[in-house]
Amino acid sequence: MNTPDSRAVLRDVTLRDGLQLTGGILPTARKAEIVRELLATGVTAIEVGSMARPDLVPSMANTVELLELLTPEERAYCHVWVATPGNVRRALAAGALHLQYCLSVTDAHNLANIGRTTEASMDALPEAVGLAHAAGATIQLCLATSFTCPFEGDVDPQRVLDLVRDPRAEGTNGVVICDTLGQASPGEVGSLIGKVRDTGRFEEIVFHGHDTWGMGVANALAATDAGATMIDGALGGLGGCPFAPGASGNTATEDLLFALRPDWLTPDTFAALVRLGEGVTAEVGEASRSKAAQGARSEAKAFGWVLPKDAA
The active-site residue out of 142, 149, 178, 241 is 241
What pTM value is reported for the model? Answer: 0.94
Residue 4 has pLDDT above 60, yes or no: no
241 a catalytic residue? yes
Residue 7 has pLDDT above 70, yes or no: no
Task: Tell me which amino acid residue 68 is.
Answer: E
Are 232 and 250 a contacting pair, CB within 8 Å?
yes
Residue 247: pLDDT band by 50, 70, 90 thresholds? low
Identify the CATH number of the domain defined by range 9-296.
3.20.20.70
> pLDDT tens digit string along 71-122?
999 999 999 999 999 999 999 999 999 999 999 999 999 999 999 999 999 9
Specify the DSSP class assigned to residue 17: G
Residue 303 has pLDDT above 60, yes or no: yes
Whole-number Å distance between alpha carbons of 47 and 82: 11
Closest CA to 97 of 60, 62, 67: 67
Residue 55: pLDDT band by 50, 70, 90 thresholds? confident
Are 81 and 102 a contacting pair, CB within 8 Å?
yes
Q: At residue 161, what are phi and psi to the nearest 5 degrees?
A: -65, -35
- As to burial, measured by CB atoms within 10 angstroms (0-12 exposed, 13-18 middle, 19+ buried), residue 40 is exposed
Task: Tell me which amino acid residue 162 is.
Answer: D
